[in-house]
Structure 1
Amino acid sequence: MTLVRLCKLAILLLVLPFNAKLAQATEPYELTFAVNTPGSFPYLYYDDPSQTYKGLVPEFFAALKRRELLDITFVDSNQQRSETFAKEGKVDLYLANLGWVSEPSKVITSIPIIQHKTFLYSLTPFDDEFDFASVENKRVCTQLGYAYTGLQASFEAGKLLRFESSTQDTLGLMLAKGRCDYAVLNNYNAKLIFSAPEYCGLTIHHSPKPTSTVPLTIVMRPALHKVKALIDEELTGFITSGKATQSLASHSSIPRFPMPGQCNSV
Structure 2
Amino acid sequence: MRKLLLSLSLLLSQEGIAEPAALRFSVSESWSMPLMHLENHQPTSGILLEIFDSLARQVGRQAEYHVMPRLRIQGALESADIDVRCYIAKSWLGDLRGDYAWSVPILVQRDLLVAAPLTVGPYPEQFDNEVIGTVTGYNYPALQHLFDSHRLVREDARNQEQVLRMLVAGRYNYAISNQLAMDWINRELPPEQRLKVVATVSEQDAACLVRKDPALPVQQILDTLQAMRKSGEIQRIVERYAPRR
TM-score range normalised by the length of the shorter chain:
0.7 to 0.9
Query: 2:133, 2:99 → 1: CA distance?
Result: 30
* Structure having the higher Rg: 1
After superposition, where does 1:57-206 map in structure 2 within 5 Å?
Answer: 57-95=48-86, 96-104=88-96, 106=98, 108=100, 109-124=102-117, 132=124, 134-137=125-128, 138-195=130-187, 202-206=193-197
Partner of 2:7: none
Query: 2:114, 2:135 → 1: CA distance?
Result: 14
What TM-score do you get using the length of structure 2 for normalisation? Answer: 0.75
CA distance 1:71–1:187, change in 2 (3 Å) = same
SS at match of 1:206: strand
- Given that 1:64 and 1:71 are in contact with CA atoms closer than 8 Å, whether structure 2 keeps it comes out as no
Partner of 1:8: none
What TM-score do you get using the length of structure 1 for normalisation? Answer: 0.70
Query: 1:216, 1:40 → 2: CA distance?
Result: 16
- Given that 2:183 and 2:243 are in contact with CA atoms closer than 8 Å, whether structure 1 keeps it comes out as no
Unaligned runs of 5+ in 1: 1-15, 257-266
CA positional deviation for 1:119: 0.6
Query: 2:114, 2:228 → 1: CA distance?
Result: 32
SS at match of 2:27: strand
CA distance 1:155–1:38, change in 2 (3 Å) = same
How well do the aligned residues superpose, as a CA RMSD in angstroms? 3.5
CA positional deviation for 1:194: 4.2
Query: 2:171, 2:48 → 1: CA distance?
Result: 34
Count of residue correspondences: 227
CA positional deviation for 1:53: 3.3
Identical residues among aligned pairs (%): 20
CA distance 1:115–1:219, change in 2 (3 Å) = same
CA distance 1:232–1:182, change in 2 (3 Å) = same
Query: 2:32, 2:208 → 1: CA distance?
Result: 13
Query: 1:224, 1:163 → 2: CA distance?
Result: 44
CA distance 1:237–1:106, change in 2 (3 Å) = same
After superposition, where does 1:44-55 map in structure 2 within 5 Å?
Answer: 45-46=36-37, 48=39, 52-55=43-46
